[in-house]
Every structure is written in structure tokens, then in C-alpha cells.
Structure 1
Amino acid sequence: MRAGKIIAFIAAGIFIIFSFLFILGGFSPEGQPAWILIGLVGMVIGFGLIFIGTKLSPPQKAGDQVVNLNIDLPGQVGMDTIKCQACGGPITSKDVKMIAGAPVVECPHCSTTYQLTEEPKW
């Protein structure tokens, strides 16, 4: 979320809460009828800010999705060098891509493409 959108929502919440309190106070025995009008104007401003906040960021296109893959490894993990299954050349993290939810490696040396698999640990 962008900063302008967050500020608009926070300000809208504050306006709506205080406007509601003004409206309630206008109906109390010590209240004044002008408080009801102030409360209604504040409600309009609050809901207007919510409307503006939803329109501040344009909707994302279907192809603009950003996917982050975080891997949590248990305990101390030693990293071995990954080598190509076909030619034995070293593979870097730049050569691993996520395709259809699976890690796929394309060797920069022999252009072989294969899916990474994890061997069982037992």
C-alpha cells in the first residue's frame, strides 16, 4: 500500500469516529443541534476519504504479479555447490527459476533444462 492511501484511510477512520461522537452528543440533553450537522459533514468527509483512498492506486494488471519465494531452513544448513546433471558445470542462483510452482534449472553451459528435486533425508 502506498503512503497516501494509508494516510487517507487513517484520516477517514478518525473523521468517522469523531463524527459519530458528535452525532451522539447532538442527541444528548446538553448537546446542541449544530453538533448533528457537524457530525454529518464529518461522516461525508470520512467516507469521501475512503473513496479517494481506494482510487489512489490503479488496479494491478493480470501479468503484473510479483511472487516472492522464501525458504525457511531448519537449524544450521551447509550449502553444497549445485552442479548440472548433464555436463557437471556449476549452477548459480540466477539459473534457477520458478515455473508453474516448481524450481527449474537451465544450465548456462549446455542449455539443459530440468526440474530440481529434493532427495529424502532418511
Structure 2
Amino acid sequence: MANKTFLYIGAGLLLLIGLCLFGYGLLNVIGSTSAQGSRTWLTFGIGFACTGAFFLAGGIGLIVFASRQKGAAGSGDNITYKIDLPSQTKVEQMKCNNCGGALKADNVKMIAGAPTVECPFCGTTYQLTEEPKW
């Protein structure tokens, strides 16, 4: 994640420098073509414009390179949810509300921010609800 940040910062700097050099070069080219302009300013302006174009191309290249970089694990960002099951629930004692099949910890997943259970036997999916403790 930090590598992407540095790449984007470097790309921004290259784009800023490139834009300044390219603009300065174009102004010199335009100024040299006026009636009072000099031919030496034309080559000076073209040199700055070309240098600015190289900086701009480098900045765009860094942005493309950074956008194609994967996350730290190589497969994108992983999000881990910690499921706090209601009251004194033990996963090995859980049974499906529909068919009565034994459920395992792998059957409990987070869907839309709520702990849900998917039965491997009948395919029923339902949300875990906390029973009153009194």
C-alpha cells in the first residue's frame, strides 16, 4: 500500500514539473515566432517543451504502473470480520432451524454486516438472532 502511495506522489511531481516545463517551452516558442522574436528562443522553447513532454509521459507511466499494482498479499485487499455470536452460543452445538443438520464454524458468514448461517445440507440461509438473556 505504501508503494502505491509513493508511486502516486512521484507521478504527481513528474506531472507538475512536466506541465511547468512544457508550458514554459510553449511560451518561448510562441514568443519566438512574433515579429521581435529570436531564432535562439525557438530552439530553447522546443527543448523545454520536449523535456516537459518526457516528464508528463513519465508521470502518466507511473500512474498506469501504480494502478496495476496488486495489494500486499498479491490478490487484493482482504477484509476480516470478527463474528461475535450472541450470548453463550457454541458453534459445535448449532443446528439448522430448517432441517436440524449440524452446523460448523465455516457455515457462519457475514452478509450485509450481520452474522448469517448457510446450511450445507438444505441450503437454507438465515440471520442469527440474539435470544433474550432473561
TM-score scaled by length of structure 2? 0.49
Aligned to 1:12: 11
Distance 2:58 2:88 in 1: 62
Distance 2:19 2:4 in 1: 22
Matches within 5 A, 1:66-105: 66-68=79-81, 82-84=87-89, 97-101=108-112, 102-104=114-116
Q: What is the aligned counterpart of 1:50 among 46, 63, 81? A: 63
Aligned to 1:116: 128
1:104/1:18 CA distance change after superposition, 3 Å: same
Aligned to 2:37: none
Which letter does structure 2 place at the counterpart of 1:117?
T
Q: Is the 8 A contact 2:81 2:110 kept in 1?
A: no
Alpha-carbon displacement from aligned partner over 1:4-55 (angstroms, at most 9, x marks no partner):
1111111011101110111111122477321101101101111111122123
Structure 2 runs not aligned, ≥5 long: 32-40, 90-104, 118-125
- Percent of aligned pairs sharing the same letter: 24
Of the two, which has the highest radius of gyration? 2
Q: What is the aligned counterpart of 2:52 among 26, 32, 39? A: 39
- What's the CA shift for 1:66? 2.1
Q: Which has the higher helix share?
A: 2
1:83/1:118 CA distance change after superposition, 3 Å: closer
Secondary structure of residue in 2 paired with 1:28: helix
Q: Which has the higher strand share?
A: 1
Which letter does structure 2 place at the counterpart of 1:100?
I
Q: Which has the higher contact order (CA 8 A, sep 6+)?
A: 2
Structure 1 runs not aligned, ≥5 long: 70-80, 85-94, 106-113
Task: Calculate the aligned-residue CA RMSD, in Å.
Answer: 4.0
